[in-house]
Amino acid sequence: MLAAGLAALVGLWLAATRAMGVAPWRGGGPVSLEVDLSARTLTVLRDGEEVNTYPIAIGTEDHPTPTGHFSIRTLVWNPGWVPPNSDWARGKEPREPGDPANPMQGVKMYFREPTYFIHGTNDPESIGAAASHGCIRMTVGDAEELARRLMEETGAGSPPDGGETRYVTLPSAVPLEIHG
């Protein structure tokens, strides 16, 4: 009974803080990310203070970007692309790393495995729009800058040199909140 009451109070508190535009987890760790879908921005926070904001593309109405609390732990530098088992991808061909037709350019950062990523895009004109199938798109330069920061902030070292695909597991998860 006490646990149910406490859970209800926490739920009300979270709903109220979100309604006021406050991210309740800010300041909970050295680096965290916040995505505002309506503003189409991704903000990097360090110790709760904004250090950078990037423009992004988000999911369409038919393929919305999920909202909620997530974490980033895995990065893939120079990723290939394999079409997901979805109607929208039927008939699409896999793309090698570096292929201009590869929608995953530069780096991808998992936030809801195995389907949702923050990634560099081969369609930079889509930034600022609702254009993806649920992922968060960034320009290649912005995505690479963000991934470098996450690696440095978590002690994962430096990004790879050259064009090889490289998987990186961050030593600590980076919190991500996505809200409308």
Q: Measure the CA–CA gap between 108 and 136, rounded to whole angstroms.
A: 10
Q: What whole-number distance in Å separates Cα of residue 117 and Cα of residue 65?
A: 10
Q: Say if CB 146 and CB 118 are below 8 A apart.
A: yes
Catalytic choice (69, 133, 135, 179) = 135
Q: Is 69 a catalytic residue?
A: no
Cα–chain center distance at 179: 12
Token digits of residue 126: 């889509």
Catalytic residue among 63, 69, 119, 179: 119
Output the DSSP codes for 85-151: SSGGGTTPPPB-TT-TT-SSEEEEEEEETTTEEEEE-S-GGGTTSEEESS-EEE-HHHHHHHHHHHH
135 annotated active-site: yes
Sort strands 105-112 and 116-120 into parallel, antiparallel or unpaired: antiparallel
So which residues are the catalytic ones?
A: 119, 135
